[in-house]
Amino acid sequence: MRVALFATCLGDTLFPDAVKATALLLSRLGQEVVFPQAQTCCGQMHVNTGYQREALPLVDNHAACFADESIDAVIVPSGSCAGSIRHQHQIVAERFGTPALRAQVEQSRAKTYELAEFLVDVLGVVDVGATFPHRVTYHPTCHSLRMLRVGDKPLQLLRAVREIDLVELPDADQCCGFGGTFALKNADTSTAMLSDKLRNVAATGAEFCSAGDSSCLMHIGGGLSRLQTGIGTLHLAEILASTEHAISPKRGALA
């Protein structure tokens, strides 16, 4: 398949290793990976804060980048942004877009997948050939669970990783408290929710907390660092892309 990679804002600016790992993993599984250079933000933060009309140029640009018929699928290493493309883009296009844009948005959203659901549902693989000899716990993010309903697909993939010690996260389905601007507008509530998440992560004794969204990892990782727990964070893609010969001695991830 010819698949296009949507890096997302956080992936592009703060978590490039997760984006690189996604491209490496997809290539290793035999996919032709392309990266449309004109891609920008998907517009989720605009829509989430009530600026739907202002998100229209971003929705328009995204559709122009990814509706191309030569692209078989659009892969997003983020449940949050994949959810925005699948659900919010259609709302914005129907309210403020032209018929041509609405058609482009439909083409784009229909072939957009969060990474884990693409691997399991489309490629039909669970064992991606990864090796990761570390103790790991997994945080299922709100948008992947409640908007995309990816279920346990990330865990299916992690259970097939060689030498991994995968430990269950208590109250895993509880939000970490990030939620984009929620963390800014409701700082006290966000901090309380994060405290619960950090306590549960620490209780697992894991070396790494993983997730499919860099935004949640940024929030959780910041808290773990401030508490000096010694627990690291890694995007799901970084673990799945790790092999016996590509494990960094420093982070346990890709060199």
In the prediction, which pLDDT does 253 show?
A: 41
> Are the CB atoms for 21 and 237 separated by under 8 Å?
yes
Do 237 and 139 lie in one domain? The reply is yes
Specify the pLDDT at position 252. 40
CA distances from 18 to 139, 151, 169 (A): 16, 21, 22
Task: Assess if residue 64 is contained within a domain.
Answer: yes
Structure confidence at residue 244 (pLDDT)? 81
DSSP string, 81-111: HHHIIIIIHHHHHHHH--HHHHHHHHHHHHT
In a domain, residue 63? The reply is yes
111 and 9 part of one domain: yes
pLDDT digits (tens, 9 = 90+) for 95-126: 999 999 999 999 999 999 999 999 999 999 99
Do the domain assignments include residue 248?
no
pTM of the model: 0.92
Residues of the chain with pLDDT under 50: 247-255
Given this model, what pLDDT does residue 235 score? 97
- Are residues 80 and 139 located together in one domain of the fold? no
How many domains, in total, are found in the chain? 2
Model confidence pLDDT, tens digit, residues 202-228: 999 999 999 999 999 999 999 999 999
230: its two tokens: 């010694």
Task: Spell 93-110 as b/e; 16+ CB within 10 A means b.
Answer: beeebeeebbebbebbbe
| H-helix or E-strand spanning residue 155 | helix 153-159
